[in-house]
Amino acid sequence: MPNRRQFLVAGLGLAAAPLLTRVATGAPPSDTAAPLGAKPISVRAYGATDATTPLGPLQIERRALGPHDVLIEILYCGVCHTDIHYARSEWGQSRYPCVPGHEIVGRVEAVGSAVTKFKVGDIAGVGCMVNSCGACENCLTGLEQYCLKGPTLTYNSPDPESGGHTFGGYSDKVVVTERFVIRIPPGADLPATAPLLCAAITTFSPMQHWTLTAGQRLGVIGLGGLGHMAVKLGVARKADVTVFTTSPGKLADAKRLGAREAVLWSDAAAMQRLAGQFDLLISTVPQAYPMQPFFDLLRLNGTLVNVGAMEQLQGIPGAGLARRRRSLAGSIIGGIAETQEVIDYCTARNIKADIELIRIEDINRAYERVNNKDVRYRFVIDMASLKAGEQAHA
Ligand code: NAP
Ligand code: ZN
């Protein structure tokens, strides 16, 4: 491989500094060169400087490697609709510059002295969180996403380490404490695995919590990045899956993905026929919409789990919920152990995302296509294009 790097291990002379593993890119390191990760490093990134300007190239800083940190060279990063919400301040004022990206797969380039889970050269993943308090009752039960102090999100979160805010995966490299780094099993299809770190865990977690079992009816509302993973994961556990889509062009795709039925929201006859049938509905629609017709689809004790819209919800029928002891719930990603579980689960079963690989400079057009419901079914950025783009500009 022409780009293959030679990995060397070099000890540090400084007693106070952690022992770091160093990666060399060709010539052996000189005695005077600082080991990689010993100091903050400046890395290339792509992001938004405000809510309306297109995303463009940026330079950002990653912290010096602490004893528990892993430095990852980012190879691929999925494009989640959440990235658009944050880049465009759609969920309140974002922090700028905003470097989105929380479906990160890369190669470990250096590790801190106390790191045990990873070594240089390993393939690793980072999802939506990079830290949490680790001490509250939720963190202690593996539910770091519900950390009572608030998890540190991969981007746009206040960063206690730097005093600034976190930057995500549309970037060359990232430094993350090892507890929040996910192992990617050998042989995984890396670009198609990246989206599992958000799109799969966000839909897997409700299936686990609400114990979706074989033969139960699962409805997936919205066939985009999350929705298509929900179909695949529902089919894997032998649930009877129906997709509810606003896009006639996706009806055939839904069946190809394994759904038994695919229904247009506007198909009143089908909606009536399916009333009272569903055990679990997962709504992945990125904005509020009238939900009443979907509650009618739930059977006794059925639950509609909203993972998409984060604003005020619409059309929640008090009597409709009460009469069949139906529930409305929300859910956010999954904990770190559960994220590792879904990665291992999917890799073992060859479940991966349907992706369109793009270059970083295509990101603004990709955002437009996501907003137009025209993604089949996840864009993934080949991060080599970030390096190539910079060279072209040099
Ligand atoms: P996506 O790829 O854009 O898919 C959303 C799908 O919803 C669309 O493809 C479309 O499917 C349907 N839809 C219906 N009305 C729509 C409208 N007005 N505009 C756009 N789409 C519409 O998005 P995603 O990445 O799957 O994310 C979905 C939502 O979940 C986003 O709001 C995202 O921020 C959120 N999210 C939440 C979590 C969490 O932890 N809770 C994690 C990740 C993402 P049809 O064409 O089939 O109608
Ligand atoms: Zn996401």
Q: What is the pLDDT of residue 33?
A: 58
**Is the distance from the beta carbon of residue 247 to the nearest atom of ligand 1 less than 6 Å?**
yes
To test the ligand 1 pocket, which listed residue (203, 205, 294, 307) has its Cβ within 8 A of the most ligand atoms? 307
Is pLDDT larger for residue 28 or for residue 382? 382
What's the gap in Å between 78 CA and the centre of ligand 2? Answer: 8
Taking only the tens place, the pLDDT of each residue in 226-249 is 999 999 999 999 999 999 999 999
Taking only the tens place, the pLDDT of each residue in 20-71 is 333 333 333 344 456 677 799 999 999 999 999 999 999 999 999 999 999 9
Q: What is the pLDDT of residue 390?
A: 57
Nearest C-alpha to atom 14 of ligand 1 is from which residue?
285
Taking only the tens place, the pLDDT of each residue in 168-197 is 999 999 999 999 999 999 999 999 999 999
Closest ligand 1 atom to residue 332 Cα is 40
Closest ligand 1 atom to residue 246 Cα is 48
- The encoded tokens of residue 345 equal 């689960």
Nearest C-alpha to atom 22 of ligand 1 is from which residue?
285
Nearest C-alpha to atom 4 of ligand 1 is from which residue?
224
What is the C-alpha separation between 330 and 282, in angstroms, rounded? 9
> What mean pLDDT, rounded, does the chain reach?
91
Fold observed for domain 6-197+335-393: Quinone Oxidoreductase; Chain A, domain 1 (3.90.180)
Asked if residue 311 has pLDDT above 80, the reply is yes
Residue ranges of domains in the chain: 6-197+335-393, 199-330
Q: What is the pLDDT of residue 161?
A: 85
Nearest ligand atom owner, CA of 86:
1
Is pLDDT larger for residue 197 or for residue 393? 197
What's the gap in Å between 79 CA and the centre of ligand 2? Answer: 8
What's the gap in Å between 239 CA and the centre of ligand 2? Answer: 24
**Is the distance from the beta carbon of residue 108 to the nearest atom of ligand 1 less than 6 Å?**
no
Asked if residue 216 has pLDDT above 80, the reply is yes
What is the architecture, at CATH level 2, of domain 199-330?
3-Layer(aba) Sandwich (3.40)
**Is the distance from the beta carbon of residue 205 to the nearest atom of ligand 1 less than 6 Å?**
no
Closest ligand 1 atom to residue 84 Cα is 34
